[in-house]
Amino acid sequence: MDAVFRLKSDTFVTRKVGDEMVLVPLVNSVADMTRVITLNETGAAILEALDGKNTLNQVVTQLFDSYNVEKEQLRADIIHFIDEAIEKQLIEIVA
């Protein structure tokens, strides 16, 4: 998987709060505060790296220096994040 992903910005509003990121879904252009999603620092870093330009390999390389983990484990964790984010309709594939 060396695809490119990005946040579905037309369906979510994001805000950084400290090291975390809050995602608020939009329903008919109105915030749905009953379905707010909070990402920890790592999740926020992954989502920010999934900017619609970086491939999966570029995201792994970008985040590798920030985390004390084997590169293959980081790749697996990012793929897991992507799978969950697609399931929750947070991100979309762009290439």
**Which residue type, as a one-letter code, is found at position 51?**
D
Residue range of the domain that includes 20 = 4-90
Whether residue 43 lies inside any domain: the answer is yes
Whether residue 95 lies inside any domain: the answer is no
Query: Which residues 6+ apart lie within 8 Å of 77 measured at CB?
Result: 69
Domain count, the chain: 1
What pTM does this model have? Answer: 0.90
Question: Cα–Cα–Cα angle for 63, 47, 28, nearest 5°?
Answer: 175
Q: Are 73 and 54 in contact (CB under 8 A)?
A: no
Query: Over the stretch 23-56, which tens digit does the pLDDT of each residue have?
Result: 999 988 888 888 899 999 999 999 999 999 999 9
**Which residue type, as a one-letter code, is found at position 3?**
A
Alpha-carbon distance 18 to 53, whole Å?
Answer: 25
The CATH number of residue 81's host domain is 3.90.930.60
Whether residue 50 lies inside any domain: the answer is yes
